[in-house]
Chain A
Amino acid sequence: MRRRPGIGGLQTAAAARDQYRLLGENVAKLRTDLMKEQLATFRSQLEDFARKHKNEIRKNPTFRSQFHEMCAKVGVDPLASNKGFWAELLGIGDFYYELGVQIVDICLATRAHNGGLINLQELCKLLRPRRKSDRELVSEDDCFRAISKLKVLGSGFEVISVGKKKLVRSVPTELNKDHNQILELAQAQGFVTVDEVERRLSWTSGRAIDALDTLLDDGLAMIDDGHRDGKRRYWFPCVSSITSVLADS
């Protein structure tokens, strides 16, 4: 287009720009509408699905965890609120709130014994007898979700990974890398010795003793001087399964 001189030329150019912008906006709006429509369809289908498989979602932990994954992908959080469609349909909010309360309960009851660190597996085992009444199975994934909701309370509830195991922490102690490595080592037998820590992790004696002392002070470890070989053993209740029976008593 040949550029015409004068004020008229400028005005035409501005008008053309406006036209382009409008057209562009329209296209964008159209796309968003389409997207919104698609998402709405998806949501309603998800709701249909949830309605249809309501019982399975409630009863079957694997199914439940897959359903959660699906929800997360479309930005639906069935746990976000206790009101509204999801809660009414599935009662799923209550399910996790109740679970959360039971988890807090168990963590407190076993804290004196394990120093506020408990094996997730162990926790599930302890939950089972408490939930006998409603016969709904609880998976580790459910506990995980319930605990992540507890985080909002700022009470320091958290799931941490140590080696292959997942541990639930209910005290605000920070475990550093050294402590983690010791806990990982302890998973094999339930205990470690200073020698073993030095040898397996190639640490100096001071480093091992220092880390073990901290774990002891935090109530995460217990000493055992009773073995025949005379070597002090450091036991970690959070990685052995004695807790279960203790909490019953």
Chain B
Amino acid sequence: MQRLGDFKLPAFFNYPPYFTLQPVRETREKQVQLWKELILDYCRTQKIFVIGLEEEFPLFSNLVIERSLSNEAREAFLSALVSEGRAEWLDKGHRKCLILWHRIQDWADLILSFVKENGLEDSVMTVEEIRSGIESRGTELQGMDRTVLMRALKVLENKGKLAIFKGTSADDEGVKFSI
């Protein structure tokens, strides 16, 4: 089986027609389904949050069988993820896509349990600390995309679980938990 680093690629990745958008509806549905699963899986294991349509992305070409996805196909697969709430376009032109292998709500839940496990219920942390502090090391929050993190924090703020405030340094914000 072919691998990308430590990621095991599925068999369909080596079957050339999967790199061409299929014209027949049922065949295409199956194709889109397989690609959606592959993209989510890959992003989750590699901690990739943003895919640029026109940029190099390991899944978009297969050198072994000399095939790569057309822009149309890339957009079709990502759009399918968007319509399921597993991705969001970051721009109107659909050139950059945010991949949500956890939905925003799930990320919010992860933050809550992280806070509880570390006894931080009344503490203050910076946003940066949540992503890269000692406490988050080895958890899913480590290295988390800032945009996604901010969105999840906003969800929690709206529920009254925390307050976001401007920190002393201009480039970082603070979070006061009150769970």
Contacts and interface: CB of A to CB of B under 8 A. Distances in A.
A216 interface: yes
A245 B16 contact: no
B66 A228 contact: yes
Interface in B29-83: 29-30, 66-68
Query: What size tier do the contact residues of chain A reach?
Result: 20 to 34
Contacts of B23: 216, 223
A227 interface: yes
Contacts of B1: 245
B91 to A, nearest CB: 27
B136 interface: no
B10 interface: yes
A112 interface: yes
Query: What size tier do the contact residues of chain B reach?
Result: 20 to 34
A64 interface: no
Contacts of B12: 242, 246
B139 interface: no
A139 B23 CA distance: 37
A90 B8 CA distance: 43
29 contacts: A112-B27, A112-B29, A112-B30, A115-B27, A216-B23, A216-B27, A219-B26, A222-B20, A222-B27, A223-B20, A223-B23, A224-B16, A224-B20, A226-B19, A226-B68, A227-B16, A235-B15, A235-B16, A242-B12, A242-B14, A242-B15, A244-B11, A245-B1, A245-B10, A245-B11, A246-B10, A246-B11, A246-B12, A249-B11
